[in-house]
Amino acid sequence: MKQFYKQLLADFEQKKNRYTDAGLMPLRIIDLYNGQDTNPEYFDILTLPALYISMRADYAAEPATLSVEVKLLYEQLRNTSSIGLNRDEALAFFEMANITDGILKEIETPETGRLLLLSEGMDLDPTVTDIYQFSYQCAYYGKEKTRQKETLPGSIDDIRTKTGLFKGLL
């Protein structure tokens, strides 16, 4: 997971011009998710736009899978309603989400395959800012599964016992 996260940071740094080419502000911070959007202690230091990542490996599948949850935080100050005067500018966050998704889908490491988008959409939970959320999954080769203890097949009827062993100890 560490290698994946470091590659994610490097890719977003190298490709931040995709945002500026589209007339958008590039991401100002990328971090592991720690409730930054819901914890009042973080509200004053929340830097936008931001990308927060959480990851979880599932070893039940073969190969193991890595689930990646991504929160894109942005500040929406424009009117997106049907009577808004500058609708294209107000809906620019969709372009930001598309660029972010494109960069994420290009990430690949020796420990992971490429990300497969499972779901995306606006987070409707009450938070201090607007959030666009992505859910991804990919193959994960970072660790092996815990091996199960090897057992030999057999039947209880195949066990032979000897008598008189206790007498020999006395």
Q: What's the confidence (pLDDT) of residue 74?
A: 87
Residues above pLDDT 70, as percent of the chain: 79
Q: What's the confidence (pLDDT) of residue 39?
A: 72
Q: What is the DSSP letter of 48?
A: S
**Cα separation values, 89 from 17, 29, 75, 120, 144, Å:** 19, 22, 13, 21, 48
Residue 56: CB atoms within 10 Å: 12
32 vs 168, more confident: 32
Q: What's the confidence (pLDDT) of residue 87?
A: 72
Q: What's the confidence (pLDDT) of residue 149?
A: 46
Residue 67 host element (H or E): strand 65-74
Q: What's the confidence (pLDDT) of residue 93?
A: 86
Contact indicator for 153, 165 with CB cutoff of 8 Å: no
Across the beta sheet with 50-58, what order do the strands follow? Answer: 29-32, 50-58, 65-74, 130-139, 116-122
Tens of pLDDT, residues 62-105: 889 999 999 999 877 666 666 666 777 777 888 999 999 999 99
Q: Which residues contact 31 (CB under 8 A, 6 or more apart)?
A: 50, 51, 52, 53
Q: What's the confidence (pLDDT) of residue 95?
A: 92
Give me the helix-helix angle, 2-14 and 92-105, nearest 10°.
130
**Nearest 10 degrees: Cα torsion 106, 12, 128, 55:** 50
Q: Does residue 126 surpass a pLDDT of 90?
A: no
Q: What's the confidence (pLDDT) of residue 88?
A: 73
Q: Does residue 167 surpass a pLDDT of 80?
A: no
Tens of pLDDT, residues 138-154: 999 887 765 444 556 66
Measure the CA–CA gap between 144 and 9, rounded to whole angstroms. Answer: 25
**pTM for the model:** 0.77
